[in-house]
Every structure is written in structure tokens, then in C-alpha cells.
Amino acid sequence: MQANLDTVKKPGRSVNDAFASHFAKSMFLTVLGLAILSFIGTRMFTHVDLNLYGYMVGTIVFLGRFFYRFIAWGERPPTKIFIKKGIKLLFRKTTPKTATEQLVTYRFIWNRGLYRWTQHIMMGWGCVIALLVTFPLVFSWMYFTMADNGMYTIVLFGMDIMTVPADGFIAFLSYNALNISAFMVIIGVSMALYRRLKNMQARAEQTFMYDFLPLYLLLFVSITGLALTFINIVLHGYGHQVMSLVHQYSVIITLIYMPFGKLAHIPFRPLSVFARNYREHYAEQGTKKCKVCGTGFVSVEQSNDVIGVLGINNMEFESKEGFHLAELCLPCRRKYRIAQFSGFATHHVKVKEANQNAKG
């Protein structure tokens, strides 16, 4: 009895008790961190660009929606297992290679063809470059100054990082980083739209709101961003104020939409490293053999995790033959489910499906 009393949590003694939920704590700590970094980066708020205020508000709203989506996803039993084991395996020797293939070179897309790989490289890296440039500018972690002698200084967190000629190559890349990313996104989105409109299978599977709307938003943001550069260079600033507001609102709407649409896979993409490590590590320890055909199809750990998660959710798939459906490979599982309706034990037929080893 005394042991049970000792294990009871005392209220008010933990930092977590100060917040109503995990979401509230995550959002508070994030905004606090952004404020501290902005305080340092702007040299105690002495360098703040109010023209970027709208982007800042949109980014904070995006972070709030992202944390809400991530925490809601992370509270699910299978996700808890996935994240917990993924963190433990993060320091595997193969992690740098896996991270490079999943996040840099997109090698996992290569098997689907050069066209789709190029499409993903353009869209993925175009968005990443834009975010890496925009966020530091929005929160004033990075800004630029120009001296009378024509030298251009890049300031990061209040420190002079680099001084280059204003008409040099590095300065040119700094001026046009967002323009370059916009061209990359336009190329990638155009390739995606062409494929989805011409490929009959893609057309049958796509919907406007989920599949096409994200592409149109990215396209609109990129075009309006390039239009600002065109107005400033060719039209000498005529119509800049109107186009600036149009572009700003398009960016804010896209950021607000991102966590709850198909574009959410952009911030979620780093977790693919966890998934790859999970599969590779436990596959090395032992492969689960199908109870019907004897073919190895997943790791023993993954099969046990699936059975455990289904049990947590009170979803039992025990067969009358004494095995769990999670212990069958996909072709045999399909045959077994057909057998439940046909009355014929199709899962005992030793015929493989034509597409069971398909790649891509």
C-alpha cells in the first residue's frame, strides 16, 4: 500500500503541469525560442523589418498548426513506437547515408524514373531553399547592409559573417536565392501537373482539393514572387505595393494550409530516416516468415509491433487456423481475406501474384 502511494504523481511539481496540453507547451516553447533568437539576431530589436511582419504572423500560425498536427499524429500508438525506436536508432552508422538518400538526393524516387526524380528534386529543393532563406529574414536572424564603398555585408545573428562586392557572384546569389528557388518550383510543379493531366492512372487517382490545389498554391507563390523582381527591375517599382501584398497573402495562405494538406510531407519528410533505420535495423536481426508460404516479408520486430498495436486498439485478427493476419505476407493475406467470402481456402494455393514483387 505504501509503495502504491509513493508512485502517485504529486500535482504541481512538474513543468508539464503548467500547461494544458503537449500542444500548449510545444507552442509556448517554440514562440519563446523564436523571440529569444530574434532578440539576439536583431541586436536587441534594433534592426526589425516591419515589411516582413505579415510573413512573421503567418509563420507563427503555421508553426501552431504544424505542432497540432504533429502531436495529434504522434499520440497514436503506432507512431509512439515508430518515433521511440527511431530516436534510439538515430546514431546508426548508416544514418548519414540514409539521410542523404532520403533528404538530399531523393534516391528513393530514382526507381520511379528520371522524370519523376527531376520533378521531386526541383519542387523539394526549391521549397527547402525558399524556407531556408525566408525564415531567417522574417525573424531578422539574417539581414544585409551596404557600405558607401560598394561592399555588401551579410549579418547573421548580429555578427558580420561575410563582406563581398555588391556586384559579385556571391552577392548575386544572395539577391536572387528566392528567384532561383521560384524557378525550380515552377519547373517541378509544371512537370507534376503535366504528368497528372496526361497519365491516365494518375488522373483516376487525383482529386482537385488534395492533389492539384497544393500545386496551384506553390505555382502562384512562385509566379508572384518573380513578378516582384520583374516589377522592380523592368517597371522600376511601378505596382510594387499591390504585388507585394498579393505575394504576401499567397505565402501566408500557403503556410496556413500546409500542415493539413498534401504539402505536410515537406516538414514531415525528415522522419523518413526513422522509418528506413527501423526497417533496416530489425530486418538484420531476423525476418518474419509467412505462416502460409514461408516467405520472409518483414522483420520479426515489425510484425510483433503491428500485432501489439492492433491489440492496444482492441482489433484482433486471429484466424481459426491459429495465426494472426499480421503473420502473413501481403499476397497470402489477400488470398486469405478472399477465402472468407468465397469459402475456398485460396491462401493455400501456391500461386504468386504477378505484381507482388513490383518495384517503384
- In the chain, where are the structural domains located? 22-270, 286-348
131-135, 263-267, 353-357: least confident range:
353-357
Per-residue pLDDT of 145-177, as tens digits, reads 887 777 888 888 878 888 888 888 888 888 889
CATH number of 22-270: 1.20.950
Residue type for 59, please? T
Burial 291-304 (b: 16+ CB within 10 A, else e): bbbebebbbebbbb
Residue 223 in this model has a pLDDT that exceeds 80: yes
34 Cβ contact partners less than 8 Å away, ≥ 6 residues apart: 60, 139
Query: Phi/psi of residue 347, each to 5°?
Result: -75, -10
Distance CA 175, CA 94 (A): 37
Residue 5 is inside which H or E element, if any? helix 2-7
Phi, psi of 289 (to 5 degrees): -95, 135
Q: Which residues contact 303 (CB under 8 A, 6 or more apart)?
A: 288, 326, 327
**11: confidence class by pLDDT, cuts 50, 70, 90:** low
Question: What's the gap between Cα 94 and its chain centre?
Answer: 21
Higher pLDDT, residue 181 or 286: 181
Extended beta strands in the chain, E state: 142-146, 151-156, 159-165, 287-289, 296-299
Euclidean distance between the first and the last CA atom of the chain, given in angstroms as a whole number: 59
- Residue 255 C-alpha cell reads as 503556410
Task: Answer whether residue 67 shows pLDDT above 60.
Answer: yes
pLDDT of amino acid 345? 59
The lowest-confidence range among 47-56, 96-105, 269-278 is: 47-56
Q: What is the pLDDT of residue 70?
A: 85
